[in-house]
């Protein structure tokens, strides 16, 4: 029984990774930001780093959330863009 549950969880996790969008275009209200979702997913390997409860839409996604979460993570990891023009393209 445990083996079956483990296999099902592995399939669900793999399906989520396989179906993830490569690039997500965030709303214009956020300043035209292209987010390389699949790259982040492969690098972080933990959806809960961004998706608080589980994979799916981020309820509080907006400027404040992105600046705190994304920019904060990039600063902490010393990797990724942290300047305005690095993310917000015209």
pTM, two decimal places = 0.66
CATH architecture of 22-87: Alpha-Beta Complex (3.90)
3-state SS, 64-75, equals HHHHHHHHHHHH
Domain boundary assignment for the chain: 22-87
Which residues are CB-neighbours of 7 under 8 A, at least 6 positions away? none
Least confident piece of the model among 9-13, 22-26, 27-31, 80-84? 9-13
By the 8 A CB rule, do 27 and 83 touch?
no
Average pLDDT over residues 7-22: 56
How many CA atoms within 13 Å lie on the side-chain side of 34? 7
1-10, 28-37, 48-57, 66-75: which has the minimum mean pLDDT?
1-10
pLDDT of residue 90: 73
pLDDT of residue 17: 46
* CA angle in degrees (0–180, nearest 5) for 79-80-86: 150
Residue 27 vs residue 43, higher pLDDT = 43
pLDDT (0 to 100) of residue 57: 82
């Amino acid at each position: 029984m445990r083996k079956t549950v483990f296999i099902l969880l592995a399939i669900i996790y793999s399906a989520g990774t396989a179906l993830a969008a490569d690039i997500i275009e965030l709303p214009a209200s956020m300043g035209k930001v292209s987010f390389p979702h699949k790259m982040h997913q492969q690098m972080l390997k933990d959806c809960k780093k961004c998706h608080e409860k589980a994979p799916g839409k981020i309820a509080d996604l907006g400027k404040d959330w992105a600046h705190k979460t994304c920019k904060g993570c990039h600063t902490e990891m010393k990797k990724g863009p942290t300047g305005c023009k690095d993310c917000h393209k015209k």
